[in-house]
C-alpha cells in the first residue's frame, strides 16, 4: 500500500535504506518529542518544530502509506498562529503549569501508544468481491470510507482462535510473543495465547459489510461507480493496485468474501514477501 509501490525498485531501496538507519531515525523521532518541552522557552522554536513534524509526517506517508493529515493541519495551524504573535512571554509559573498538564494528560485522556514490538507473524484479513459473471477482485481498503483504517489495520479478525496472537501488522507488546513471532512459529503452537485480538463474529462482520454495500449503492453514479479514493483516509490503498475493482460496476457485486490468512513475513531481494500458513474464509451474500 505504499505510495511508491508503482515501482518495486523504489520500494526495495526504501526498505533497504530504512533497515540500515532505523536506529538513527528512531533516535531522532524520540529526541524531537522530548525537546518539545523547550517550546515554552521560545515561540519561534515552536513554529519550526511544527514544520519539522509536518515534514516528518510527509516522509511517513510516502514510505508507509500512513497519512497523518489531521496532525499536519493541526501543526500548520499552530505554527501559523504563533508566527503572528509578537513579544509573547510566559511566566515560569505558567510554563510549569503547562508542562504538568501535558504530563498528566495520559491519566485523564486515552492516548495512543506509538510503540510496539515487531514480529514476522501476521493475521492478514481482507475482502474480495464476487460479481455476477464470476469475477473475483480484491477490495481496496479505501472502499470502506470512514472505517478504511479498521480494514487496513486488519482489525476484523475471525475466527477467535487459530491465528497468531499478534496485533496490527504483526506487532505485539508482549516480549514472549515477539520472541516466538520472530521465529514465525505455527499459529496453533501458542497454548493459552491463541485468542485473536480484534475478534469479530462472522455475523457481525457480515452485518457491517451488508450495511456498507447499501451505503455504496446510494453513492454510485449511473455506471455503478463511486470514487472512494477521494476521501481523507488515514491509511491508503494505492489506486493503481486496484484498477479492475475501481472500474467494476458495484451493482454487479453478488457477494463479498471475507478472508483471513496467517502469514509469515520475510524479505527477498530487498522486497517484503509473505508465506501463507493458514487460510479461512466465508462468503457474505448481498440481499437485493
Q: What digits encode the pLDDT tens for the residues 213-243?
A: 999 999 999 999 999 999 999 998 888 889 9
Please state the separation of Cα 46 from the chain's center in Å: 28
pLDDT confidence tier of residue 194, bands split at 50, 70 and 90: low
pLDDT score at 161? 78
Q: Tell me: the pLDDT tens digits for 9-56?
A: 777 777 788 778 888 888 888 888 887 777 777 777 888 888 888 998
One domain, residues 93 and 181: no
Average pLDDT over residues 273-279: 89
pLDDT score at 193? 59
Given 85, 107, 129, the domain boundary residue is 107
The model's pTM is 0.84
Q: Tell me: the pLDDT tens digits for 71-115?
A: 999 999 988 888 887 777 778 888 888 888 888 888 988 887 778
Residue 57 included in any domain:
yes
One domain, residues 225 and 139: yes
One domain, residues 168 and 265: yes
Residue 20 included in any domain:
yes
pLDDT confidence tier of residue 192, bands split at 50, 70 and 90: low
Given 61, 77, 107, the domain boundary residue is 107
| Three-state secondary structure readout of the chain | CCCCCCCHHHHHHHHHHHHHHHHHHHHHHHHHHHHHHHHHCCHHHHHHHHHHHHHHHHHHHHHHCECCHHHHHHHHHHHHHHHCCCCCCCCHHHHHHHHHHHHHHHHCCCCCCCCCEECCEEEEEEEEEEECCCCEEECCHHHHHHHHHHHHCCCCECCCCCCCCCCHHHEECCHHHHHHHHCCCCHHHCCCCCCCCCECCHHHHHHHHHHHHHHHHHHCCCCCCCCCCCCCCCECCCHHHCHHHHHCCHHHEEEEEEEEEEEEEEEECCEEEEEEEEEEEEEEECCC
d(CA 219, CA 237): 20
Pick from 96-105, 115-124, 133-142: least confident: 96-105
Domains of the chain: total: 2
One domain, residues 99 and 122: no
On average, the pLDDT of the chain sits at 87
One domain, residues 14 and 86: yes
Residue 6 has pLDDT above 80, yes or no: no
Given 107, 127, 146, the domain boundary residue is 107
Residue 150 has pLDDT above 90, yes or no: yes
* Structural domain boundaries, residue 209: 117-285
Average pLDDT over residues 247-266: 95
Amino acid at each position: 500500500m505504499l505510495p511508491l509501490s508503482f515501482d518495486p525498485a523504489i520500494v526495495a531501496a526504501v526498505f533497504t535504506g530504512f533497515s540500515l538507519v532505523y536506529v538513527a531515525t528512531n533516535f531522532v523521532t524520540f529526541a524531537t518529542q522530548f525537546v518539545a518541552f523547550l517550546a515554552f522557552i521560545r515561540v519561534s522554536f515552536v513554529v519550526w518544530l511544527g514544520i519539522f513534524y509536518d515534514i516528518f509526517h510527509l516522509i511517513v506517508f510516502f514510505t508507509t502509506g500512513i497519512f497523518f493529515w489531521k496532525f499536519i493541519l493541526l501543526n500548520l495551524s499552530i505554527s501559523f498562529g504563533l508566527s503572528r504573535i509578537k513579544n509573547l512571554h510566559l511566566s515560569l509559573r505558567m510554563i510549569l503549569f503547562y508542562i504538568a498538564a501535558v504530563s498528566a494528560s495520559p491519566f485523564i485522556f486515552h492516548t495512543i501508544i506509538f510503540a510496539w514490538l515487531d514480529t514476522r507473524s501476521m493475521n492478514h484479513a481482507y475482502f474480495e468481491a464476487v460479481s455476477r459473471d464470476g469475477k473475483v477482485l480484491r477490495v481496496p481498503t479505501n472502499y470502506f470510507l470512514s472505517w478504511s483504517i479498521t480494514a487496513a489495520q486488519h482489525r476484523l479478525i475471525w475466527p477467535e482462535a487459530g491465528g497468531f496472537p499478534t496485533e496490527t501488522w504483526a506487532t505485539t507488546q508482549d516480549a514472549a510473543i515477539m520472541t516466538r513471532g520472530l521465529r514465525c512459529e505455527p499459529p496453533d503452537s501458542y497454548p493459552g495465547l491463541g485468542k485473536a485480538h480484534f475478534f469479530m463474529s462472522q455475523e457481525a462482520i457480515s452485518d457491517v459489510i451488508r450495511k456498507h454495500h447499501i451505503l455504496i449503492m446510494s453513492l454510485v453514479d449511473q455506471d455503478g461507480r463511486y470514487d472512494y479514493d477521494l476521501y481523507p483516509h488515514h491509511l491508503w490503498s494505492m489506486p493503481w493496485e486496484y484498477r479492475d475493482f475501481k472500474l467494476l460496476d458495484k451493482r454487479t457485486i453478488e457477494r463479498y468474501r471475507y478472508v483471513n490468512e496467517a502469514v509469515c513475513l520475510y524479505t527477498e531481494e530487498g522486497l517484503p514477501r509473505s508465506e501463507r500458513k493458514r487460510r479461512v474464509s466465508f462468503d457474505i451474500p448481498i440481499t437485493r
